[in-house]
Amino acid sequence: MFKSNGVPLVDPSRRWRHGLSLALGGIFLAVMLVSMLIDTPTRVHAHPATVNMNCTLIVPRNPLSAAGLATPYILKATNPADGPCLQANPMQSAFVQAAVVNPKTGFLAVYDPLVIDQRTRPAARPVIPFIPTGSVVGIWFGFNGAVLTLQGEQANTLAQSNCVNGIPGSPFGQFAYCNAVRFFAAAHQGIKVGNIVPPALGRDRKGLICPTTRSFFIVDQDQSDNVTTSYLIAPNGRLAQNTVANRVALRNATVLTNPSDNRLLISVDATLGCTPWMRPDLADPGHLTTALPLNELQAAVRQPAPVALIPFNDPMVLVMKNNTFVPNLTKLNLFRVGVDQPVAQTLGDASPRPYCINLMQVAPPRLAINAPLLGRGATPDAAVGNTLFTFMAQRYVNTFVNPLGEGLNCMKMFHLQPLVATVKTGDDVAIAVLITVNGRQRCFNSLGIVSPIKACAGATSTPSSGVTR
Strands 170-171 and 288-289: unpaired
- For 100-112, b/e burial (b = at least 16 CB within 10 A) is bbbbeeebbbbbb
Phi, psi torsion values for 299, nearest 5 degrees: -65, -40
**Nearest to residue 116, comparing CAs of 176, 48, 57?**
57
Residues whose CB falls within 8 Å of the CB of residue 377, separated by 6 or more in sequence, listed in order: 267, 268, 270, 271, 387, 388, 389
DSSP 171-215: E-SS-EEESHHHHHHHHHHHHHTTS--PPP--B-TTSPBPP-TT-
Instruction: State which amino acid sits at residue 445.
Output: N
Distance CA 336, CA 159 (A): 19
Strand, coil or helix: 241: strand
**Nearest to residue 338, comparing CAs of 367, 317, 360?**
317
- In the chain, where the domains are located: 20-349, 351-456
The strands making up 450-451's β-sheet, listed across from edge to edge, are 420-424, 430-437, 440-445, 450-451
- Run of H or E including 115: strand 115-117
Distance CA 381, CA 302 (A): 29
Helices 292-302 + 261-272 axis angle, to 10: 70
Strands 170-171 and 166-167: antiparallel
Cβ-based burial of 160 (10 A; exposed 0-12, middle 13-18, buried ≥19): middle
In the predicted model, residues of the chain with pLDDT beneath 50 are 1-48, 467
pLDDT digits (tens, 9 = 90+) for 57-102: 999 999 999 999 999 999 999 999 999 999 999 999 999 999 999 9
pLDDT, residue 445, reads 98
pLDDT, residue 33, reads 33
Q: Give Cα separations from 164 to 13, 141, 173, 288 (angstroms).
A: 26, 10, 12, 28
Longest dimension (CA), the chain: 64
Strand, coil or helix: 55: strand
pLDDT digits (tens, 9 = 90+) for 257-285: 998 899 999 999 999 999 999 999 999 99
